Amino acid sequence: MGYLKGSDIIKIREYKKSVFDVRMMNICAWITIILTYITPYRVNEEGSILFGYPFAFYIRHPLNKSRIPLLSGSLDLLIFIIDLAIIYFAIKLLNMILHIFNTGDLK
């Protein structure tokens, strides 16, 4: 009565694969990290250097004699995930537009 058949489970798995692509997310993560080194950095009022595109997710603080150089940076994981999502959806949208132009199909 309320049970799923095997074919229904396969359809659900295919739908989940089409909504979120892990391989593309991996590529977007690498693009986000590489853009950190390619795009220009910004310096804020305190002298900290901000890296990341479109939002700065890595901050390198100025070195003092009391500060350990390895601990002079900080990573904002939430901003990194937001950057990743922006790049993921931009590539997904570009891929969808190219698919529409090439095939004329809105699938």
Tens-level pLDDT at each residue, the chain (107 residues)? 556 555 655 555 555 556 677 888 888 899 988 988 888 888 888 888 888 888 888 888 887 666 676 777 888 999 999 999 999 999 989 988 888 888 877 65
67 domain residue, yes or no: yes
Burial class from Cβ neighbours inside 10 Å (0-12, 13-18, 19+) for residue 58 reads middle
- Residue 79 tokens read as 């901003």
- Residue 50 tokens read as 């901000």
Residue with tokens 């909504």: 19
52: left (phi over 0), alpha (psi -120 to 50) or beta: left
57 domain residue, yes or no: yes
Q: Is the pTM of this model over 0.85?
A: no
pLDDT of residue 79: 93
58 domain residue, yes or no: yes
pLDDT of residue 102: 85
pLDDT of residue 15: 53
pLDDT of residue 81: 93
Give the structural domain span for 94: 21-103
pLDDT of residue 59: 87
E strand map for the chain: 42-43, 49-51, 58-60, 73-75
Q: How many domains does the chain have?
A: 1
